[in-house]
Amino acid sequence: MHPNPLLLHLHPNDNVYVAKTALALGQEIPELGVRTRAQVPPGHKIAARRIAEGEQVRKYDTVIGVATRDLEPGDYVHSHNLKIVDYYRDPAFGADVRPVDYVPEAERATFQGFVRADGRVGTRNFIGILSSVNCSATVIRHIAAHFTPERLAAYPNVDGVVAFAQTSGCGMSSPSEHFDVLRRTLAGYARHPNLAGTLIVGLGCERNQVSALVESQGLKDDPANGRLLRTMVMQEVGGTRVTIEAGIRAIEEMLPIANQAQRQPVSASHLKIGLECGGSDGFSGITANPALGAAMDILVRHGGTAILSETPEIHGVEFMLTRRAISPAVGQKLLDRLAWWERYASGQNAQFNGVVGHGNQAGGLANIFEKSLGSAMKGGTTPLRAVYEYAEPITESGFVFMDSPGYDPVATTGQIASGANLVCFTTGRGSMFGSKPAPTIKLATNTPMYQRLTEDMDINCGLIVDGECTVPEMGQRIFEQILRHASGEPTKSEALGLGDNEFVPWHMGIVS
């Protein structure tokens, strides 16, 4: 290998390389013995050899499309000369399942968590306020706004009072899949281990009635079991002002109880990590995503749970997951969700149909197959133990999949509703994201972006491309930082106050 390579060759069978840095037109490439035939931005692809028109283009030994014209060594390869073409992918259920070398319970890593009466563990200790319908969203925001840091100073063990406002709850078909998903999402937040107590506020005439929500989802006020729940209906209580005042009083009653919770050492097996990527680039599948996957392999060995989602962003590489499914039933359930998405996105200019966003294109990703290739790496290499629908409670430990759109706030909302008590979010372009009640750790894929946006990024995985550490070494660093943030160390997004506007349940049905 050349001592200072300009290109990254990811697999011996690849016929494209990835540019480590920007390449100028006519720049000599010592590794190939040719000059570039165009300007090539960092993270983008260059032909490693002659590629004939119609020939498959391979990255990480995976097909990401076919060439739309003859390409010569040194040619810039991107969406202008690469076309996505669907092809048969053998699911080979279970072919790559390997036993996990679990760490003995007595030797497992620990963090400082909040142990709830039912045995679940939180990484934060919030009180949450939910609106059953958009019509009560303003009220819950006013209630939460009352509890300033000054007013919460007497409750040092409470991380805050947060409003989870939403824009649905009425004008929707019920019963319907959309209606079930909304209720499941609200219930997942109401019973989340990072909430010491929950207040649900409704209007009164909406389709998503508060009483029916509570009954259908098995929610109840049970202080003896560590669950505080209060409900209010504006039309019954007396209107906007009166409900705000009553809501404030209800939270004030919860605060002394919530403050009794204290952190204590617990096993890392209690961690459930939502895996997300946004603003991906050509380095995502080389640095941050595989490094996060390495960290999740460590987490699974310690008994924890890694939750991969964003179903449109495994399209084209789903075989990477079905080959790790513990049974044909688990693998088939994943394929069934992909088939649902194919029907859902039919005829639409959606990501599932091949089109990726402007930022992805600018970062070097030509289509959804290439993006999916990196996205799937966040899940590591351990067996796929279960597949869940959006916001469905996750009860299985290990590596699992939860169906969701690729849109970051919606996907993460579903993961948190499913039980994720922390989120790891990789980004190449620089997504400014945060979440509550589960905090988000942001992982940068490249050093220039990390340095430019250091106030928003927690970990610089660009060090892998820089040659300063390996993927396994970065995975260990990520795992250790996860333990620190789970123990209460604020993430960058928490320090910036993000998370109050990122509760976005999946809108999937007709609005009338």
Q: Which of 297, 249, 263 is nearest to 398 (CA)?
A: 297
Helices (H), 345-438: 358-362, 368-375, 408-418
Q: What is the pLDDT of residues 420-434, one digit of tens each?
A: 999 999 999 999 999
Q: Please give the span between the terminal C-alpha atoms of the chain, in angstroms, as a whole number.
A: 62
Q: How far apart are CA 105 and CA 378, in angstroms?
A: 25
pTM of the model: 0.96
Q: What is the pLDDT of residues 318-332, one digit of tens each?
A: 999 999 999 999 999
Percentage of the chain with pLDDT > 70?
A: 98
Maximum distance among all alpha carbons in the chain? 79
pLDDT at 226: 62
- Tokens 């947060």 label which residue? 162
pLDDT at 4: 56
Q: What is the pLDDT of residues 387-400, one digit of tens each?
A: 999 999 999 999 99
Q: Which of 415, 143, 135, 88 is nearest to 253 (CA)?
A: 143
| The pair of three-digit structure tokens given for residue 92, joined into one six-digit string | 């080979």
pLDDT at 255: 97
Main-chain dihedrals φ then ψ at residue 490, nearest 5 degrees = -65, 140
Please check whether residue 46 is in contact with residue 17, taking contact to mean a CB–CB distance below 8 angstroms: yes
Phi-psi region of 472 (alpha: psi -120 to 50; beta: other; left: phi over 0): alpha
Please check whether residue 251 is in contact with residue 245, taking contact to mean a CB–CB distance below 8 angstroms: no
Please check whether residue 404 is in contact with residue 275, taking contact to mean a CB–CB distance below 8 angstroms: no
Q: Which of 91, 84, 111, 236 is nearest to 488 (CA)?
A: 111
For the chain, domain boundaries: 7-83, 114-264, 268-495
pLDDT at 351: 67
AA letter at 364: G
pLDDT at 199: 98
**CATH of the domain spanning 114-264:** 3.40.50
Per 3-state DSSP, the chain is made up of helix, strand and coil in percentages (nearest 5) of 30, 20, 45
**Cα distances (angstroms) measured from residue 59 to each of 9, 131, 154, 191, 362:** 9, 46, 56, 43, 18
DSSP states along 218-243: T---BGGGTBEEEEEEHHHHTSHHHH
pLDDT at 2: 47
Segments in the chain below pLDDT 70: 1-4, 224-226, 351, 353
| The pair of three-digit structure tokens given for residue 482, joined into one six-digit string | 């996860």
| The pair of three-digit structure tokens given for residue 187, joined into one six-digit string | 């219930």
CATH architecture of 7-83: Roll (2.30)
